[in-house]
Amino acid sequence: MSEGAAARQTTERLRMERDWSMANRASGGNARRAWRRFKRNRVAVIALAVLIAIVIFSLSAGLISTFITGFDYEENHLDLARSKPGEHGYILGSDANGRDVLTRLGYGGRVSLLFATMAAIATLLIGSVVGMIAGFASGWTDATLMRFADVLLSIPSISILVLVSSIYRPGYFLLALIFSLLLWPGISRIVRGETISIRSQPYIEAAQVNGATNARLIGRHILPNVLPIMLIWASQVIPAFIITEAALSFLGLGVQPPRPSWGNMLLEAQNYYMTNWTNVFLPGMMIFLTALSINLIGNGLRDALDPRMER
């Protein structure tokens, strides 16, 4: 090998190692810059505050039951059924079975938020792992995984959910698992495309030159770069999961009474909404505020993670 060729090879190796080092150092700075951009988005910050308040309210349902209302979410007082807000010690009224609405709103929030979060996390885990493997491995592995994803995408997932729910009456843990098994192909295709793009970057080649294994490349370089896309995707689908769970519960196919969810609270209140409209309005408003706030947070994350938004 000539001295000139050796020098060019050495220069190229040094350049690749420099790119690798710069990519490693950039991750922390990018996160801090994204947080600063997010804080400048007042709408997203207000939405985050609203969501935190809803989460705290739901997590505090037991304390509310013990120290504020004095009623458990299953406690019936049929003689006090359909009490209006403020009557008979019911701060937000009671339902058709004489159960405290405020307490059930808190416990219902636990169920709805936990279900949506579990479904989103499980879907993300399955879809992102499949997408990164397909995008990084390419070849027959990529083709096989993506054809299987195409098959699942062709299945009407809502129809399957309704069918399974009507037959088995699953709890919200099983319902979340069914969601994730049906809906992971959406995020997997997004992650696959981003993985293919990142795989061709110089710092990936530099890491390979430095002896990084495929597992290390995926964990150290691919995953941190696709994580923003995954977060934005999650912020868009969690509201959809909340609304879908509410719709299934409203149809009597989701979370089963006496365990409350915002959806089955709407179902139980529909027969007397003309005489006690607050029992319909309150769970509906909780669903609306939660879905809206998460969507606005997602928009804020999208803008904050976009380097073109830097001033």
Note if the pTM is more than 0.85.
no
Cα-Cα end-to-end distance for the chain: 49
Question: Is residue 282 scored above 80 in pLDDT?
Answer: yes
> Which amino acid is present at 257?
P
Residue 169: which domain range?
Answer: 3-309
CB atoms within 10 A of CB 160: 13
- Tens-place pLDDT, residues 26-80: 455 567 788 888 889 999 999 999 999 999 999 999 999 888 888 888 888 888 8
Q: 295 vs 28, 104, 182, 258, 288, CA distance in Å?
A: 25, 25, 22, 30, 11
Q: Which tops the pLDDT comparison, 278 or 1?
A: 278
Ranges 165-169, 259-263, 300-304: which has the least confidence: 165-169
pLDDT of residue 16: 47
Could you read off the pLDDT of 104-160 as tens digits, one per residue? Answer: 999 999 989 999 999 999 999 999 999 999 988 888 999 999 999 999 888 887 788
| pLDDT value of residue 14 | 43
Q: Answer yes or no: is pLDDT of 81 > 90.
A: no
Residue 186 belongs to domain with CATH number: 1.10.3720.10
Radius of gyration of the CA atoms of the chain, in A? 25
Please give the residue that has the higher pLDDT: either 22 or 83: 83
Provide the number of structural domains found in the chain: 1
